[in-house]
Structure 1
Amino acid sequence: MKETLLVRPTRATVLLTAGLVTLLGVPSAAAAEAPPTLYVNNNTGSSCADGGPGSQAVPFCTISAAAKVVAPGQTVRIKTGKMYAEAVTIDRSGAPGKPVSFVADGPAGSLVSLGNQQLTISGASHVVVRELGVNGGIRVNRSADVELDRVRALGPVDAEALVVGDASTDVRVSRGMLYGVRIEGGTQRTVLGRNEILGHDQEPLTIADAPATVVTNNTIQLGCGTAVSLSGSSSGSAVFNNVINAKYQNGPCDPARARAALAVSQSAAAGTRADYNLIAGSFQVGQTVYTWGGAAHQDQAAFHAATGQGGHDIVLPATQDAGTKAVDSADATAPGVLLTDSRGYPVVDDLRVPNTGKDGGYLDRGSREGQNWLESVRLELDQPWAPAGTAVKATATAVSAWSGPLTYHFDFGDGSAPVVTDERTATHVYSSPCECTATVTVYNEAKLKTAAGSQAKVTAPGPLTAGFTSKPFLPTAEDPRAYVAPLTVEVDPRSAVAPWPVQQVDVDFGDGAHEQVSALEPVRHAYAQPGDYKVTVTFKDAKGATSTVSRTVQAAYAASGYVPVHPFRVLDTRLSNSPVQAGTAAQVAVPVVYYSSGPHHTGGATAAVLNVTVTGATQDTHLNVWPSGQQRPATSNVNVRARGTSSNTVTVPIGSDGKILAQLNSGQGHVVVDFVGYYQPNTGQRFYPVTPTRLADTRTMGGALGAGQTRTVKVAGVRSIPPDAAAVALNLTSTGATTDTHVIAYPEADKRPTTSNLNPEPGKDKSNQVIVPVGPDGTITLYNNAGSTDLVLDVVGYYHGWGGGALFTPVVPKRLADTRTTGKLAPGATTTVAGLPANAVGAALNVTATETTGAGFLTIHGYGTARTDASSLNTRPGETVPNHVITPVGDGKVSIWNSWGGSNHVITDVFGYFTQG
Structure 2
Amino acid sequence: MHRPSSAVLAATAMTASLLGSAAPAQAAEPAALYVRQESTACSDTGPGTLAQPFCSIGAAAAVVTSGQTVDVGRGTYPERVTITSSGTPDQPITFLASGVAILSGATAGFVIDGQHDVVLQNFKVRSATDAPVLELANASGITVQGGSYVMGTNAKAPAVRLAGVTRSNLKQVSVTGSALFGGLTMDAATSDVSVRGGSVFASSISDSDDGGAGIKVDGPGNTVIGTTTGAFAGASIEIGPDATGTVVANNQVMGGARFGIHNRGAAGTAITNNTVRDHCQDGIRVDGASTGVSVQNNVMLSNGLFGQVYCKRPGPGGAEIGIYDDATKDTVVDYNNTYHHGSPSASAYSWNGTRMGLAAFRTASGQAAHDKDTPWARDSEDSANSAAPGYQDTDRAGTARADNPAVPNTGAGPVTYADRGAVETVGNPVARFDTALDLGANSVTVDATTSTPGFVPITSYVFDFGDGTVVTQGTPVASHKYAATGTYTVSVKVSGSDGRTASSAQNASVLRRTGTIGLISQYTLWYAAATTAGIGVAANQPALGAAAQFDLADAGNGKVALFSRATRRYLTNGGSVLPLSTAVTSSETFDLLRNADGTVSLKAGINNRYVSAPSSTASLVASATTIGTREKFYRVNVADNERTFKAGINKRHVTAESAGSKPLIANRTAAGLWEKFTLVDLGNGQVALFARVNNRFVVAESAGTKPLIANRTTVGPWERFTLIRNTDGTVSLKAGINNRYVVAESAGTKPLIANRTAIGPWEKFTLG
The alignment's TM-score, normalised by the length of structure 2, stands at 0.51
- Identify the residue that residue 504 of structure 2 maps to in structure 1: 451
What per-residue deviation string (whole Å, max 9, x for no partner) do you get for residues 142-171 of structure 1? 211222232222386432433535544424
Instruction: Specify which of 387, 392, 402 is matched with residue 333 of structure 1.
Output: 387
The aligned amino acid for 1:516 is S
Specify the alignment match of 2:551 in structure 1.
none
Helix, strand or coil: the match of 1:73? Answer: strand
Distance in 2 (alpha carbons) for counterparts of 1:258 and 1:507 = 70
Q: State the distance in 2 between where 1:361 and 1:125 align.
A: 35
| 1:492–1:522 contact (8 Å) kept in structure 2 | no
Q: Does 1:300 find its partner at 2:358?
A: yes
**What percent of counterpart residues are identical?**
20
Does residue 1:312 correspond to 2:353, yes or no? no
Distance 2:261 2:295 in 1: 11
Indicate the residue corresponding to 1:139 in structure 2. 185
**How many angstroms apart in 1 are the aligned matches of 2:561 and 2:343?**
76
Aligned to 2:150: 113
Instruction: Return the alpha-carbon distance in structure 1 between the equivalents of residues 81 and 418 of structure 2.
Output: 46
Q: Secondary structure at the match of 2:253?
A: strand
| TM-superposed deviation, 1:213 | 1.2
Letter in 2 for 1:450: S
Residue aligning to 2:116: 72
SS in 1 for 2:379: helix
Q: 1:323 aligns with which of 377, 402, 408?
A: 377
8 Å Cα contact 1:440-1:451 kept in structure 2: yes
Paired residues in the alignment total 464
Alignment of 1:659-678 (within 5 A): none
Give the match for residue 825 of structure 1: none
| 2:290 is the counterpart of 1:234 | yes
Are 1:505 and 1:516, in contact at CA under 8 Å, matched by a contact in 2?
A: no
Partners of 1:508 and 1:182 lie apart in 2 by 72
Question: Are residues 1:152 and 2:200 paired?
Answer: yes
Change in 2 beyond 3 A, CA 1:362/1:497: closer
2:67 equivalent to 1:35: yes
- Give 1:139 shift: 2.1
Question: Does structure 2 retain, via aligned residues, the 8 Å contact 1:229–1:264?
Answer: yes
Pair 1:279-2:338 in alignment: yes
Query: Aligned pair in 2 of structure 1 residues 509, 134: CA closer, same or farther (>3 Å)?
Result: same
1:280: Cα distance to partner? Answer: 1.0
Q: 1:238 Cα deviation (Å)? A: 0.9
SS in 2 for 1:91: strand
1:186–1:449 CA distance, 2 compared to 1 (3 A)? same
Any unmatched runs of 5+ in structure 2?
1-64, 84-93, 518-554, 572-588, 611-632, 642-679, 685-768
Letter in 1 for 2:334: D
The residue that corresponds to 1:517 in the other structure is: 602
Distance 1:126 1:548, change over 3 A: farther
Residue 262 (structure 2) aligned to one of 206, 218, 228:
206
Aligned in 2, Cα 1:377/1:162: closer, same or farther, shift over 3 Å?
Answer: same
Cα shift at 1:523:
6.9
RMSD (CA atoms): 4.8
Q: Deviations over 1:347-374 (max 9, x none)?
A: 3223332222115622111122224255
How has the CA–CA distance of structure 1 residues 228 and 514 changed in structure 2, closer, same or farther, with 3 Å as cutoff?
same
Q: For 1:199 and 1:510, how far apart are their aligned partners in 2?
A: 66
Say whether the 8 Å CA contact 2:110–2:134 is kept in structure 1: no
Q: How does 1:259-270 map to 2 (within 5 A)?
A: 259-270=318-329
**Contact 1:245 1:281 survives alignment (8 Å):** yes
Q: State the alpha-carbon separation in 2 of the partners of residues 232 and 248 from structure 1.
A: 20
Structure 1 residues 426 and 87, CA gap change in structure 2 (3 angstroms)? same
Range 441-450 or range 514-523, more displaced: 514-523
In 2 relative to 1, CA 64–493 (structure 1 residues): closer, same or farther, beyond 3 Å? closer
SS of 1:61's equivalent in the other structure is strand
1:365 correspondence with 2:410: no
Determine helix, strand or coil for the equivalent of 2:394: coil
- Matching of residues 621-640 of structure 1 within 5 Å: none
Alignment of 1:697-716 (within 5 A): none
Whether 2:295 is the aligned partner of 1:251: answer: no
Whichever residue aligns with residue 274 of structure 1, its letter is V
Check conservation: 1:379, 1:452, Cα contact below 8 A.
no
Matches within 5 A, 1:415-564: 415-421=468-474, 423-430=475-482, 435-444=487-496, 445=498, 447-457=500-510, 459=512, 492-494=557-559, 507=592, 515-517=600-602
Partners of 1:77 and 1:286 in 2: CA distance: 46
Structure 1 CA distance for aligned equivalents of residues 437 and 345 of structure 2: 65
Give the CA deviation at 1:140: 1.7
Counterpart residue type for residue 151 of structure 2 = L
Query: How far, CA to CA, are the matches of 1:258 and 1:283 in structure 2?
Result: 15
Shift of 1:173: 4.4
- Alignment-mate amino acid for residue 274 of structure 2: N
* 2:382 counterpart SS class: coil
Q: Secondary structure of 1:66's partner?
A: strand
CA deviation string 1:656-708 (max 9, x = no partner)? xxxxxxxxxxxxxxxxxxxxxxxxxxxxxxxxxxxxxxxxxxxxxxxxxxxxx
Q: 1:208 to 1:39 in 2, by over 3 A?
A: farther
Aligned partner (choices 250, 253, 257) of residue 194 of structure 1: 250
Query: 1:263–1:290: 8 Å Cα contact kept in structure 2?
Result: yes
User: Does 2:203 match 1:161?
Assistant: no
Residue pairs, 1:515-914, within 5 angstroms: 515-517=600-602
Q: For 1:459 and 1:508, how far apart are their aligned partners in 2?
A: 19
Q: How far does the alpha carbon of each residue in 1:810-856 deviate from its partner, in whole angstroms, 9 at most, with x for none?
A: xxxxxxxxxxxxxxxxxxxxxxxxxxxxxxxxxxxxxxxxxxxxxxx
Aligned 8 A contact 2:193 2:223 in 1: yes
1:414 aligned counterpart, secondary structure: coil
Q: What's the counterpart of residue 828 of structure 1?
A: none
**Aligned residue in 2 for 1:567:** none
Tell me: CA distance 1:509–1:495, structure 2 relative to 1, closer, same or farther (3 Å).
Answer: closer
Distance in 2, matches of 1:259 and 1:495, equals 67
SS of match in other structure, 1:387: coil
Deviation track 1:242-300 (CA, whole Å, cap 9, x = no partner) reads: 011137723299999473333333522444322111111236989554455x4858443
Letter in 2 for 1:393: T
Contact 2:303 2:320 in 1 (8 A): no
Match of 2:143 in 1: 101
- Residue identity opposite 2:272 in structure 1: T
Question: Is 1:218–2:274 an aligned residue pair?
Answer: yes
Cα pair 1:506 1:538 within 8 Å, conserved: no
The answer for the alignment partner of 2:238 in structure 1 is 182
Task: Give how far 1:493 is off.
Answer: 2.3
- Displacement of 1:226 in angstroms is 2.7
Please tell me whether the aligned partners of residues 437 and 510 of structure 2 are also in contact (alpha carbons under 8 angstroms).
no
Deviation at 1:217, TM superposition (A): 0.7
Q: State the shift of 1:343 in Å.
A: 4.0
Distance in 2 (CA, whole Å) between partners of 1:522 and 1:298 is 66
> 2 CA distance for matches of 1:73 and 1:544?
81
**Aligned partners of 1:88 and 1:507: how far apart in 2?**
62
In the superposition, relative to structure 1, how do residues 370 and 83 fare at CA in structure 2: closer, same or farther (>3 Å)?
A: farther
* Aligned amino acid, residue 101 of structure 1: T
Find the counterpart in structure 1 of residue 164 from structure 2. Answer: 123
**Deviation string, structure 1 residues 708-750 (Cα, Å, up to 9, x no partner):** xxxxxxxxxxxxxxxxxxxxxxxxxxxxxxxxxxxxxxxxxxx
Q: Structure 2 vs 1, CA of residues 160 and 310 (structure 1 numbering), >3 Å: closer, same or farther?
A: farther
User: Per-residue displacement from partner, 1:118-161 (whole Å, max 9, x unpaired)?
Assistant: 22212222232232221311222121122223222238643243
- Equivalent in 407, 412, 422 of residue 465 of structure 2: 412
Q: Is the 8 A contact 1:192 1:216 kept in 2?
A: yes
Matched letter for residue 227 of structure 2: R
Against the structure 1 CA distance between its residues 229 and 463, is the aligned structure 2 distance closer, same or farther, given a 3 Å change threshold? Answer: closer
| Runs of 5+ unmatched residues, structure 1 | 1-32, 106-110, 466-489, 526-536, 551-917
